[in-house]
Amino acid sequence: MSFTAADVKALREKTGAGMMDCKKALQENDGDIDAAVDWLRAKGIAKADKKAGRTAAEGLIGVASDANSAVVVEVNCETDFAARNDAFQTIVRHVAQSALGTDGSVEAVANAAYPGGEKNVKDTISEAVGTIGENMTLRRSQKLSQPEGVVAHYIHNAVADNLGKLGVLVALKTSGDKEKASAFARQVAMHVAAVNPVALTPDDIPADVAEREKAIFVEQARESGKPENIIEKMVEGRMRKFYQESALVKQAFVMNPDVTVEQALKDAGIGDDAELTGFVRFLVGEGIEKEEDDFAAEVAAAAGK
């Protein structure tokens, strides 16, 4: 597989590695950028996910909730200027309210009735494009319900009530004190916002994600030149640490780093049957790459140079 200068540039942006290192990584991996990222990490040249999750699109996250459920939506626009517009914020807030009455899927939300109007969400957003002057999309949505407990939500750096750039839902099942449960679940939502777990429990971590990390750890250990039996023990230790750092319930709780999230739940006095059953974390523009204009090049081109 061949690769281009644009591929080298993309790999540099993802990893922060030097140009020659990126070129060699692509050569060693037949132009596969993901494999090249892993190769650089294994060589100690790049850190995991450096810049890979940077926000490239604009818009807002909106949340809405009722007694036992909550929903989070992401509505995108082209500029942060539009995201600060009152009309855009009203749309995101109303989309979240509409989503609360659905199963939370994007299709269901798009076809849901928009509050106070005769159109559905999809048509209302399309109509608003002409008014606000920017392309707008309902990118994603998700709903959590817990009829035997609570669902708490948290918006980080809110720009208005229930609107911001980062939103989290956390579901907690319990027959105990609902007020304590809601307060604790909100603390966990703040933890999720800060730490960004891969999954709820170690068993929930996708096998392909774990295998990819293991392969990198094996390659890093072999770089040390140690015997295979020592390498095996090194990898086992690193994988244990990976699961602890990646699974929500095993992470050190940000509110009290001396205990894990699951221990903090036991200590919260909610009830013996209290159990975290799910979480959702939306960051605006997550995973979207936005083209960056080279203004100097545009001026030079316009001048005929």
Tokens linked to 219: 């390659």
pTM for the whole structure:
0.74
Q: How confident is the model at residue 1 (pLDDT cuts 50, 70, 90)?
A: low
Residues 177-192, buried b or exposed e (16+ Cβ, 10 A)?
Answer: ebebbbebbbbbbbbb
In angstroms, the CA 258 to CA 88 distance is 42
The pLDDT, as a whole number, for residue 35 is 87
pLDDT value, residue 145: 97
Q: What is the pLDDT of residue 22?
A: 87
Cα–Cα–Cα angle for 204, 210, 215, nearest 5°? 175
- Give yes or no for a contact between 193 and 17, defined as CB atoms under 8 angstroms apart: no
Average pLDDT of 236-252? 90
Give, rounded to a whole angstrom, the gap between the first and last alpha carbons of the chain: 34
How far are the Cα atoms of 63, 155, 275 from residue 158, in angstroms, in the given order? Answer: 11, 6, 28
Distant-in-sequence, close-in-space partners of 69: CB < 8 Å, separation ≥ 6: 100, 143, 144, 145, 146, 151
By mean pLDDT, which of 183-192, 226-235, 238-247, 254-263 is the weakest? 226-235
CA atoms within 13 A on the CB side of 142: 15
pLDDT tens track for 48-104: 444 333 333 799 999 999 989 999 999 999 889 989 999 999 999 999 999 999 999
pLDDT value at residue 2: 77
Residue 270 has pLDDT above 70, yes or no: yes
Mean pLDDT calculated for residue range 10-25: 81
Position 277 pLDDT exceeds 90: yes
SS3 154: strand
From residue 300, alpha-carbon distances to 6, 20, 293, 296, 304 in Å are: 20, 28, 13, 6, 6
Share of the chain above pLDDT 90, in %: 54
φ and ψ at 152, to 5 degrees? -100, 160
Asked whether residue 229 carries a pLDDT value surpassing 50, the answer given is yes
- Residue 89: the pLDDT is 96
pLDDT tens-digit series, residues 149-161: 999 999 998 999 9
Q: Secondary structure of 26-85 in the HEC alphabet?
A: HHHCCCCHHHHHHHHHHCCCCCCCCCCCCCCCEEEEEEEECCCEEEEEEEEECCHHHHCC
Interatomic CA distance for residues 72 and 282, integer angstroms: 8
The answer to whether residue 295 scores a pLDDT higher than 50 is no
Q: Confidence band (pLDDT; 50, 70, 90) for 220?
A: confident
Summary mean pLDDT of the chain: 87
Measuring CA to CA, how many Å separate 182 from each of 52, 185, 199, 230? 33, 5, 21, 46
